[in-house]
Amino acid sequence: MSSPEPQPTRADAVRNREQLLTVAARAFAGTDADTSMRAIARQAGVGIGTLYRHFPTRESLVEAVYRDQVAGLVNGAQQFLAEVSPAEALRRWMDLFGAWIATKGGMLDTMLAMIESGDLAHARTRDDILTAITAMLDAGRTSGDLRADVSAEEVAAVLIGIFTVAHQSGPAVRTDRLLDILLDGLRPASRR
């Protein structure tokens, strides 16, 4: 006896899941680290049962938001490269990276516990992000838009530093200005 074919996911279920991820990402980006599952369901316009069908635990929701956003970073790099010059693609991607970093505020404790327990593969995320940065740097080297002597690891380290300092410094330090300065430094001297 063969097993039944899996049923395709209904369109409304897909919409509900996407809405839950969007609302949860926005909630986790806020200052309230204890945003309840019930509040997320309410803001997404679904019942608590729908939320728990998709994400049985807070950890499963945090993991889904995290993975969705990492996929967004990787896909964003490719999308931007298809639309604009490599330097502009990298600058747009920096904003996307900043939004990803901001989302971690309300889920940081849960994420750290999941990383420590091995439930969240942080090393894979790092590799995915470095691959996205490398693709933009390589395209920029080929076009002459970006310097050839900068590694993805260096760009990632500077970005993390920028977003850490800007977050701690408040409005006195403008993240967009720091990112523009970084991009200027990544251009060959002849293009500055």
Note down pLDDT in tens along the chain; length 192 residues: 455 555 556 788 889 999 999 999 888 876 555 678 999 999 999 999 999 999 999 889 988 888 888 899 999 999 999 999 999 999 999 999 888 877 766 666 666 677 777 766 677 888 999 999 999 999 999 999 999 999 999 999 999 888 877 766 666 668 889 999 999 999 998 866
DSSP string, 148-192: SS--HHHHHHHHHHHHHHHHHHGGGS-HHHHHHHHHHHHS-GGG-
- The CATH number of residue 173's host domain is 1.10.357.10
Single residue among 36, 56, 76 that ends a domain in this structure: 56
Same domain? 98 vs 79: yes
State residue 58's pLDDT score. Answer: 87
Is 1 among the domain residues?
no
Phi-psi region at 45: left, alpha or beta (left = phi > 0; alpha = psi -120 to 50): left
The parent domain of residue 169 ranges over 58-191
Element (H, E) at 117: helix 108-117
Question: pLDDT tens across 108-150, in order?
Answer: 666 667 777 776 667 788 899 999 999 999 999 999 999 999 9
pTM for the predicted model, two decimal places: 0.76
Question: Would you tell me the crossing angle of helices 58-83 and 86-103 to the nearest 10 degrees?
Answer: 170
Phi-psi region at 118: left, alpha or beta (left = phi > 0; alpha = psi -120 to 50): left
User: Using the 8-state DSSP alphabet, how is residue 33 labeled?
Assistant: T
State residue 100's pLDDT score. Answer: 81
For residues 162 and 125, give the distance between their C-alpha atoms in angstroms, rounded to a whole number.
Answer: 19
Same domain? 63 vs 37: no
